[in-house]
Amino acid sequence: MSTIRLLTASTGKSGEKTIKINDLATALENIKSGWLDILDPGEAEKQFMLNNLHFHPLAVEDCFADPVDRAEHYETHRFVVLKARDADSELDTEYLLVFLTDKLLVTVRNTVLPSIERFRDRYRSIRRQKRLEKGPEFLLYELLDSVADDWMDIISNYSDKLDDLEDRVFDPKMEYPKLLESLHQIKQDIREIQKSVIPLQNIVNRLMRPDEEFISEDNYLYFRDLADVIKGLVIKVENYSSGAASTRDTYLSQVSVKLSESNARLSEVMTTLTVIGSIMLPLSLIAGVAGMNVGSNFNFNQIILAMISFATLMLFYFYRKGWIGPQ
């Protein structure tokens, strides 16, 4: 079931009402500037956009398919497709499709988006009248700025998370469980944010291209400010991504060093045991043969002397080979 909301200026105040599709044509009459929000559109809304609002069929079809991020300038309207954060999850995104006419800003979406609610609060603020006077093009700026601010709030949380993980990595006194999993998770989260923030930057840059003639001169400064905000957002995301990768590499290096030290100690122990075993094996053989009850021309002192001589010879051989002693 679709939900249609219309926000307009009524007697100097912002009016908001939920409208049925059959009453929408009448409600849009004589509107000089307004915002029409369509949530979960159906076939009736599709036909209204085609027949009453006269939107391009290709743009309308994108509302019912899997579109791509883009900005188009048609004969009677402009069309923007971008990704915004979904309310169901912190990082999941859904497409937001925006139509811009001379009198109306139309947003089409299939789920609840926090940026839309943020834009709605801006629209109803005490400065709404000035925004309405600037027309739908300025509302597009406010909408895109709301999307950027929504991502800015999310990114600021990851700064604290990354600082905490860095402190844990460089804390030798404690061992933190699942530290590597946390580093991988924050790296993956930042990568998901990049998938939405970078296309948003590309769209705004395209809107500002002179050859596109998408933005009027009166609102160009606002969009340029928006481009700077999004550029700063992209730089933050890239810095956090690099920081997460560096912290992860540092952690893996520390683990590798500890493993090497452990292997070195184990190798030293095994070398000592091997040397002892190598010496004791022939000595045991000598003792076993000398102790056989078959008669012998050797007395006890001679057997001990032979053992000491053999052990000394083996130790000297090991030393010359570099297996024991200073390397």
pLDDT at 37: 94
252 and 275 part of one domain: no
Residue 262 has pLDDT above 80, yes or no: no
Q: What is the pLDDT of residue 128?
A: 61
Whether residue 154 sits in one domain with residue 237: yes
Same structural domain, 101 and 38: yes
Report yes or no on 178 lying in a domain.
yes
Residue 282 has pLDDT above 80, yes or no: no
Whole-angstrom Cα distance, residue 309 to residue 195? 75
Q: Could you give the number of structural domains in the chain? A: 2
Task: Answer with the residue of higher pLDDT: 177 or 34.
Answer: 34
Q: What is the average pLDDT across 251-263?
A: 74
Question: Model confidence at 55, in pLDDT bands (50, 70, 90)?
Answer: very high
Mean local confidence (pLDDT), 96-113: 93
| Integer Cα distance of 220 and 203 in angstroms | 14
Q: Of the given ranges (72-76, 153-157, 284-288), which has the lowest mean pLDDT?
A: 284-288
Give per-residue pLDDT as tens, 117-171.
999 888 877 566 666 677 888 999 999 999 999 998 888 888 778 878 777 777 7
Average pLDDT, the chain: 82
Rounded-to-integer distance, Cα 129 and Cα 132, Å: 5
User: Which residue range(s) make up the domain with 284?
Assistant: 268-321
Q: At 250, which CATH number?
A: 3.30.460.20
Q: State the DSSP code for 90.
A: S
Residue 76 contacts residue 103 (beta carbons within 8 Å): no
Q: What is the pLDDT confidence band of residue 42, given thresholds at 50, 70 and 90?
A: very high
Helix%, strand%, coil% for the chain, nearest 5? 60, 15, 25
Indicate whether 174 and 244 sit together in one domain. Answer: yes
The reply to whether 276 and 220 lie within a common domain is: no
Backbone angles phi, psi at 66, to 5 degrees: -95, 100
Q: Do residues 187 and 238 touch, judged by C-beta distance below 8 A?
A: no
Does the pLDDT of residue 13 top 50, yes or no? no
Buried b (16+ CB within 10 A) or exposed e, 50-78: eeebebbeebbebbeeebebebbeeeebb
One domain for residues 282 and 194: no
| Cβ atoms 23, 5 nearer than 8 A | no
Is 263 inside a domain boundary? no
The pLDDT of residue 82: 93
pLDDT grade for 12, boundaries at 50, 70 and 90: very low
| 262: in domain | no
Closest CA to 58 of 42, 79, 43, 44: 79
Domain for residue 327, yes or no?
A: no
> Which of 235, 256, 277 is a domain's end point?
256
112 vs 300 pLDDT, higher one: 112
What per-residue confidence (pLDDT) applies to 253? 74
Per-residue model confidence as pLDDT tens digits over 172-211: 666 667 777 877 888 888 888 888 899 999 999 998 888 7
Residue after which a domain boundary falls, among 256, 278, 307? 256
DSSP designation for 324: S
Q: What percent of the chain has pLDDT over 90?
A: 28
Which of 52-61, 68-77, 182-191 has the least mean pLDDT?
182-191
